[in-house]
Amino acid sequence: MQEAPTVFQRRIVIGAGVCVAAFLLVGLRLIDVTMLSGGHKGGVIGMAAAARADLTDRNGELLARDLPVKDLYARPKEFWDKAAAARQLAAATGAGEDRLLRGFTTAKSPYVLVARQITPDAEARVMKLGLPGLEFENTAKRYYPDGRTTAQLVGVTDPDNNGVSGLELGLEQQLHRAAARGEGAVATSIDARVQFILAHEVAKARKTFSAKAAGGIVMDVKTGEIIALTSQPDFDPNQRRLSEGDSARNMMSQDIYELGSIFKIFAFALAMEDHTVGLDETLPIGKSLRIGKYSIGEAHHMPAAMAARDILAQSSNIGTAQIALRSGGARQRQFLTNMGLLSPVKSELPETARPLYPRTQWGTIETATIGFGHGVGVSPLSFVTAMSTVVNGGRRITPTFIRQDAGTDNRGAQVIKPETSETMRNLLRYVVTNGTGRSADAIGYDVGGKTGTAEMPGPRGGYIKNALMTSFAAAFPAHDPRYIVMVLMAQPKATKETFGFATAGYTAAPQTGRIIARIAPLLGVPNVPPPARVADGRAL
């Protein structure tokens, strides 16, 4: 006969059962926390943000990097006094006290987010509070050492470390892949030295002329690399918020403009390609050109007749309109399409713009006005890309923000004949030596370029009186271009030094010349005169 368990044995069995039950409860709770609730919205600490590789400039200088930070969560049930906890945590982290108290008292989930990406100083302040129920999650915050200098270009990430703008978004997959492979960095085409100079000079010009906005681009015409790009007003990417007067919009890639006279480059390139006008051919100018009910005039006084080369150099609207009409609307449209100006430009930068042009009616007046840069709107990045084709030997180029190997030549299909490209290079040099671009000349760097002054369209049609968009695009060295620099200014104001003028020759052109003088030595462009040429254009 089996003996009945003693009191001591029964106590052992009961104690073991209680322990098993406790372990089961703990296990179930762990399963709920780690597997079932899953994520911050469910009330538990989620997985850390996915790692991103560094972004660097072409020389290895840092543009963006993940810095280790922590997110802070709280378990409100652990607090003796929720109101006091909310007040103390708000003071330590900068979080909103009302939000915290609301979360502590009404949250259905066991965890409440207190603050994201807190600094080590804030973490130390939190630890000094001695509050129970606090947990830190290791994560990362993207840091931008150049701040405003590269703001719209590099872009920013969201609190979960996902790219939301600029190259952070455009190179999202490359950055994650590089981090996963342990490669450390993705090298961009940007030269931080050139970027600083461009941003500095554009900011100075914007302030000098009280312009509403200003921007600039430096592009390699043979590789398509964007060496620098700035858009101002800008913002501080490390703050993740805009202050008064800031803008996150990239005017050089995602805005379109009627660029005015700078667009005459393409009317002349087409005329040289099709031999519809000779450079020494004289065209009548007069006071106006009548086309139906429309009348085309000049921005300033012109002689009664001009040679074609001087029509470009002095930026005559009437003369350029006549040259454009010789090409005709159908040929003009085909040419601009081939140049890539009638479709959005494609690159790693996600901010882009769809050009504006006549979709149906492309008649005589449209052909004339498009010839001198009105009636068609393109982004500055699109313009620079097309101009690169004009001066680089006539071959198509695609802009890129990824560093290319030394000696790379990314020029594609032939769009215009090499001899047309050479003629245009000489013409653009003539604009600087004998025309409206004189103030852009950087001695020893053989600059060739074109001024552009356009009226800005109003919100209800028509144009805003005395509101100008001025620009200058320069290729250097003109006899064998390697780079293009473009400066754009929105609504600059005249100064005493410009004798009351706010046109491109007084605003954008001199600024472009100063930029070239500063960046050319850094880019290895020799300060030498162009090769001497005989009358027929052959080099000596």
Mean pLDDT of the chain: 90
Confidence bin at 159 (pLDDT 50/70/90)? confident
Question: What pLDDT digit, counting tens, does each position of 10-35 carry?
Answer: 556 566 665 555 555 545 444 444 33
Question: In the chain, how long is the greatest CA-to-CA distance?
Answer: 134
Does the pLDDT of residue 231 top 50, yes or no?
yes
Question: CA nearest 151: which of 112, 220, 202?
Answer: 202
Active site (annotated) includes residue 315: no
Residue 390, Cα to own-chain centre: how many angstroms? Answer: 23
Confidence bin at 254 (pLDDT 50/70/90)? very high
Give residues with Cβ within 8 angstroms of 241, minimum separation 6.
none
CATH T-level fold of 195-519: Beta-lactamase (3.40.710)
Report angle CA 307, 308, 312 to the nearest 5 degrees.
115
- How is the chain split into domains, by residue range? 54-187, 195-519
Q: Which of 231, 253, 261, 421 is catalytic?
A: 261
Question: CA nearest 190: which of 217, 156, 210?
Answer: 217
Options 3.40.50.2000, 3.50.50.60, 3.30.590.10, 3.90.1310.10; which CATH number does 54-187 get? 3.90.1310.10
- Contact (Cβ atoms closer than 8 angstroms) between residue 125 and residue 92: yes
Residues 518 and 239: their CA atoms lie apart, in Å, by: 31
Does the pLDDT of residue 495 top 80, yes or no?
yes
- Contact (Cβ atoms closer than 8 angstroms) between residue 218 and residue 483: yes
**Lowest-confidence region among 97-106, 274-283, 383-392:** 97-106
Strand partners, 475: 448, 484
Question: CA nearest 54: which of 198, 200, 216, 179?
Answer: 179
Report residue 466 as tokens: 């005395």
Provide the residue type at 513 as one letter.
Answer: G
To the nearest whole percent, how much of the chain has pLDDT over 70? Answer: 89
Neighbours of 464 (CB within 10 A): 12
Question: What pLDDT digit, counting tens, does each position of 271-327 carry?
Answer: 999 999 999 999 999 899 999 999 999 988 899 999 999 999 999 999 999 999 999
Question: CA nearest 326: which of 364, 292, 282?
Answer: 364
Residues 502 and 525: their CA atoms lie apart, in Å, by: 31
pTM score of the predicted model: 0.85
**Lowest-confidence region among 50-54, 261-265, 364-368, 437-441:** 50-54
Confidence bin at 457 (pLDDT 50/70/90)? confident
Question: CA nearest 131: which of 176, 92, 188, 171?
Answer: 92
Does the pLDDT of residue 36 top 50, yes or no?
no
